[in-house]
Amino acid sequence: MSSSLIAVSHVYKSVTDATGTLDILRDIDFSLNARQTLAIVGASGSGKSTLLAIMAGLDTPTSGHVHIAGQDLFALDEDQRAALRAKHIGFVFQSFQLLAPLTALENVMLPLELSGHPQPKPAAKEMLARVGLSDRLNHYPKVMSGGEQQRVALARAFVVKPDVLLADEPTGSLDHATGEKVMALMLELNLELGTTLVLVTHDRALSARCDQRLLIEAGRAVLQD
């Protein structure tokens, strides 16, 4: 296997129902090295989010392989994939996915606690300060703006210093100005922490700032520098 941090090899995804078989992804094949940034682009319904879910091991391909840090995701059972995600992968979602009963600080502490970090509270405070939310530590998601919630989500994803960050439309529900700030912050953290960043996005400005773009059309992918 190559030394690439992420290697997607000849991935196909099809679904079958009473009307027949639909090919969602066809022979997707690419690799990324550490610290690279990739934007997955294409029309709505083209399979972008399906590909991201397969890369995370949250969905399974009909055929093909995904290697993360040298490990074949689909040679593992579900528990083993979950353990690999906890060790190597962070997530950012368009809908933020913060836990409503927890404060900003508690949301960011959670993955640290789950991984057995010896000092989750100081580490979470430091990351929230890094995203400009030192004054919002004890606020709950319901009283925070969309941009603030997305910054909490970024802090939660980056606080474990993942090898790979997967982001599904991370600026999609934000206004333009807020989206620009979140985009800049995400790329700053990518450089600072050395995380490989994979984004699904419709935002042309965001995709243009990535090292590469993967265009998906009719289930097939074209890699663009």
At 220, is the pLDDT very low, low, confident or very high (cuts 50, 70, 90)? very high
At 3, is the pLDDT very low, low, confident or very high (cuts 50, 70, 90)? low
Report the CATH number at residue 75: 3.40.50.300
Burial class (CB within 10 angstroms; exposed 0-12, middle 13-18, buried 19+) of 68: buried
Q: Please tell me the predicted confidence (pLDDT) of residue 104.
A: 97
Q: Is residue 152 part of a domain?
A: yes
pLDDT in tens, 35-56: 999 999 999 888 999 999 999 9
At 122, is the pLDDT very low, low, confident or very high (cuts 50, 70, 90)? very high
Is the pLDDT confidence value at 91 over 90? no
Please provide the average confidence, as pLDDT, over all residues in the chain.
Answer: 91
Is the pLDDT confidence value at 225 over 80? no
Q: Please tell me the predicted confidence (pLDDT) of residue 123.
A: 96
Dihedral through CA 8, CA 183, CA 130, CA 97, nearest 10?
A: -70
Q: Is residue 184 part of a domain?
A: yes
List, as one string, the DSSP characters of 165-211.
EEEESTTTTS-HHHHHHHHHHHHHHHHHHT-EEEEE---HHHHHTSS
Is the pLDDT confidence value at 114 over 60? yes
Q: Is residue 179 part of a domain?
A: yes
Q: Is residue 1 part of a domain?
A: no
Mean pLDDT of 145-150: 92
The count of structural domains within the chain is: 1
d(CA 177, CA 200): 19
**More reliable by pLDDT, 93 or 118:** 118
Domain range for 183 is 6-224
Mean pLDDT of 183-203: 89
Is the pLDDT confidence value at 172 over 90? no
Q: Please tell me the predicted confidence (pLDDT) of residue 125.
A: 97
Q: Please tell me the predicted confidence (pLDDT) of residue 186.
A: 86
Q: What is the pTM of this model?
A: 0.87
**More reliable by pLDDT, 103 or 188:** 103
Q: Please tell me the predicted confidence (pLDDT) of residue 102.
A: 97
Is the pLDDT confidence value at 1 over 60? no
